Amino acid sequence: MSIPKDRDTDLIRDLDLLLDALCADWDFCAGVRGADLVQGAKPLTSKHFTDSVLNAESELHGPRASWERRIKRRFVQRYGHEITRRDYRL
């Protein structure tokens, strides 16, 4: 099975790829990393991911609610509403 180049078999590295895409696409480059978001067996939720990305930014261009919807949508499309390292599968 071939792994898409924009995905990784490890959740932390895959989160880094998603965060890199948010940086490239929307300039959210404040330094949140996948390892900062994954905490043991506790699920990473779309809300926690979105809040972490937005809270790390010093300035938002436009209303926060609009960015919340867009970032949450990207997370949900990739992982569903929550993900753990144990449950992550490509």
Sorted by where each begins, the domain ranges of the chain are 11-83
Torsions phi, psi of 69, nearest 5?
-60, -45
Number of residues in the chain: 90
33-71 tens-digit pLDDT: 999 999 877 999 999 999 999 999 988 888 999 999 999
Cα–Cα dist 22/71, whole Å: 8
- Confidence band for 31, pLDDT divided at 50, 70 and 90: confident
Distance CA(69)–CA(27), nearest Å, equals 16
